[in-house]
Amino acid sequence: MIEILSYEFMQKAFISGIVIAIACSLLGVFLVLRKFSLIGDGIAHISFGGVATGLLFNITPFIGALLFGLIGSFGIIKLKEKSAVYSDTAIGIVSHVSLGIGIFILSIASGLNVDILSYLFGSILSIKTTELLLSLSLALLVIVFIIIYYKDLFYMSFDEESARVSGIKVNFLNSMLLILTAVTIVCSMNIVGLMLASSLIILPAASALQIKTSFKKTLIYSVLISVFSVIAGLIIAYNYDFAVSGTIVILNALFFLLILLHSKINNLSSNIK
Amino acid sequence: MHSLINLSSVSFSYTDSDVIKNISFSVKKGDFVGLIGPNGSGKSTLLRIILGILTPRKGVVSLFGKELKKFGEWEKIGYVPQKATNIEKNFPATVYEVVSMGLLSIQKFPKIITKREDSKIKEALTSVSMENFSQRRITELSSGQQQRVLIAKALVVSPEILILDEPTTGVDQENKESFYNLLGKLNNKGMTILLVSHDIGRITKYVNKVASINQKIEFYGTYKEFCLKDAAYKKEYKLYSDKG
């Protein structure tokens, strides 16, 4: 363990991994409960266009992905408001247009394909200090926002109409959830890659929800599962030379299966009693 | 006595034709008004207009003497949605957490529960006889118990009016009776209530006014007047009573 931490790239990976794991897992509980869990995939597709554009114009891909992610989120919000399309259709339209832009850029520019793989599948070796600082600051902002609005988001997730009647700014918070998801997906790009970015949002939250406890404890469990998976994933991947993103996702999936199994056994035994 | 809710010539349409046509009536302090009508008559739409979720095409809605656009004291209104049948089966919340949501309209940052708020939550749970369930998950309760918890959530801010949308949907007959008893007791203690229901046969013991709508207002007055007004109403009442 001490040996791992002596490498600068591993220190960066642990620090950013833990902060991003917290942001993703907190956000994930609200997104899963609101049945928005696949929005992360949509935003990852949008960000892909930004990474390709960044590489083409020699702008930091992180910035390109962030800009595309934010513009894409606003695009989804406006498309929903101004036209008669459903949320998932709006996400589908914006994400596929951006994905199309990314693929088009890759086809006309040579030599980008190798670079883009590290953004698609994650590469802890490629984390630059500026990207690390930016992603840490943004992930911390996401965490602070969720802590401040946690009760409002909780109420909205339980019953949006009643929350609206209570004076909670539901439209603002819905838009913020989308924007924060975009920010979080881009922040997690270096660790797990765009292909698996939404897994850090969905899996820990889905596992924690299987535990069937209070809302506060569900949030805590989601964070613990996510952080543990990232730390263990980094250690295992380093020791056995596995892909970091895949290892983290497999650990998360194992957690989900174990908790699901435990909950089924509990149900069965309480039914027998 | 001033009106807590006042509707003046309110019309609303989702598309081209109005589903609410020129409706006017008011709810005064201490009233227990039953808003009744057949399916598709616009009861729930009218309620959503009163709560500011939908904007009327024409007419004025006032709450506590203020036009809806200028009204901001939502803590004066306790809203109980038609929710018991819609609570997600895996939603992770205890009864205590659900009731605490009701406090959000009056809490300032940081939204933490103070000792005073904790006793308000316990008081609200006691008022609906659910004090022993505070740490149970809401999804483990029967729909009748869930509906009581939602009333406690509405009561926790000590509102001046309670607005309920078909609260007994999915609740068994025995629990319906005790639920309406609870509303009757609250009204006797001075709580103003607007209850949307198709269950006219059951609510007659408790309501003192009836607003009967079928896109437009068909009757508004005391329950006694409602029964005696004409044969059509009597027939309708009998129809509802037989169903109840």
ipTM of the shown complex: 0.83
On whether any CB of chain B is under 8 Å from the CB of A159, the answer is: yes
Cβ separation of B137 and A158 shorter than 8 Å?
no
Edge-first strand order for the sheet with B18-28 is B18-28, B3-13, B58-63, B66-67
On whether any CB of chain B is under 8 Å from the CB of A267, the answer is: no
Cβ separation of B137 and A212 shorter than 8 Å?
yes
pLDDT number for residue B39: 83
Average pLDDT, chain B: 85
Instruction: Spell out which residues of chain B touch residue A212, defining contact as CB-CB under 8 Å.
Output: 90, 92, 137
Instruction: Spell out which residues of chain B touch residue A148, defining contact as CB-CB under 8 Å.
Output: 109
Average pLDDT, chain A: 88
Break chain B into its structural domains and give their ranges: 3-243
Instruction: Spell out which residues of chain B touch residue A155, defining contact as CB-CB under 8 Å.
Output: 101, 104
Can you tell me whether residue B163 is helix, strand or coil?
strand
Mutate to test the interface with B, among A31, A215, A266 (most CBs of B within 10 A): A215
Cβ separation of A154 and B79 shorter than 8 Å?
no
Task: Say how far apart CA B156 and CA A169 lie, in whole Å.
Answer: 20
Q: What is the CA radius of gyration of chain A?
A: 19
Please tell me the number of Cα atoms within 13 Å of A149 on its side-chain side: 21
**Across B231-241, average pLDDT:** 53
Question: CATH 1.10.3470.10: does it fit domain A2-272?
Answer: yes
pLDDT digits (tens, 9 = 90+) for A150-202: 899 999 999 888 888 888 889 899 989 989 999 999 888 877 888 888 899 99
Task: Say how far apart CA B12 and CA B9 lie, in whole Å.
Answer: 10
Cβ separation of A164 and B53 shorter than 8 Å?
yes
**Across B229-240, average pLDDT:** 55
Which superfamily, per CATH, for B3-243?
A: P-loop containing nucleotide triphosphate hydrolases (3.40.50.300)
| Residue in B with minimal Cα distance to A210 | B90
What pLDDT band is residue B122 in, cutting at 50, 70 and 90?
Answer: very high
Task: Say how far apart CA A132 and CA A135 lie, in whole Å.
Answer: 5
Instruction: Spell out which residues of chain B touch residue A153, defining contact as CB-CB under 8 Å.
Output: none
Task: Say how far apart CA A223 and CA A231 lie, in whole Å.
Answer: 12
On whether any CB of chain B is under 8 Å from the CB of A84, the answer is: no
The first and second tokens of residue A131, run together, are: 């990207």
Task: Say how far apart CA B151 and CA B167 lie, in whole Å.
Answer: 9
What pLDDT band is residue B83 in, cutting at 50, 70 and 90?
Answer: low
| Among the partner residues A159, A164, A216, nearest to B83 by beta-carbon distance | A159
Nearest chain A CA: its distance from B103 CA (Å): 9
pLDDT number for residue A193: 85
On whether any CB of chain A is under 8 Å from the CB of B101, the answer is: yes
Residue A137 in this model has a pLDDT that exceeds 50: yes
What pLDDT band is residue B238 in, cutting at 50, 70 and 90?
Answer: low
Among B200, B138, B19, residue whose Cα is nearest residue A213: B138
Nearest chain A CA: its distance from B224 CA (Å): 33
Instruction: Spell out which residues of chain B touch residue A161, defining contact as CB-CB under 8 Å.
Output: 48, 53, 81
Nearest chain B CA: its distance from A91 CA (Å): 24
On whether any CB of chain A is under 8 Å from the CB of B98, the answer is: yes
| Residue in B with minimal Cα distance to A152 | B104
| Among the partner residues B52, B98, B107, nearest to A158 by beta-carbon distance | B98
On whether any CB of chain A is under 8 Å from the CB of B89, the answer is: no
Cβ separation of B93 and A158 shorter than 8 Å?
yes
| Residue in B with minimal Cα distance to A32 | B91
> Are B25 and B217 in contact, with CB atoms under 8 Å apart?
yes
Task: Say how far apart CA A4 and CA B230 lie, in whole Å.
Answer: 87
What pLDDT band is residue B224 in, cutting at 50, 70 and 90?
Answer: confident
On whether any CB of chain B is under 8 Å from the CB of A48, the answer is: no
pLDDT number for residue A1: 65
The mean-pLDDT minimum among A65-79, A80-94, B223-237 falls in B223-237
CA angle A184, A185, A189 (to 5 degrees): 115
What pLDDT band is residue B243 in, cutting at 50, 70 and 90?
Answer: very low
On whether any CB of chain B is under 8 Å from the CB of A34, the answer is: no
Higher pLDDT, A272 or A79: A79
Among A192, B39, B77, residue whose Cα is nearest residue A184: A192
| Residue in A with minimal Cα distance to B113 | A151
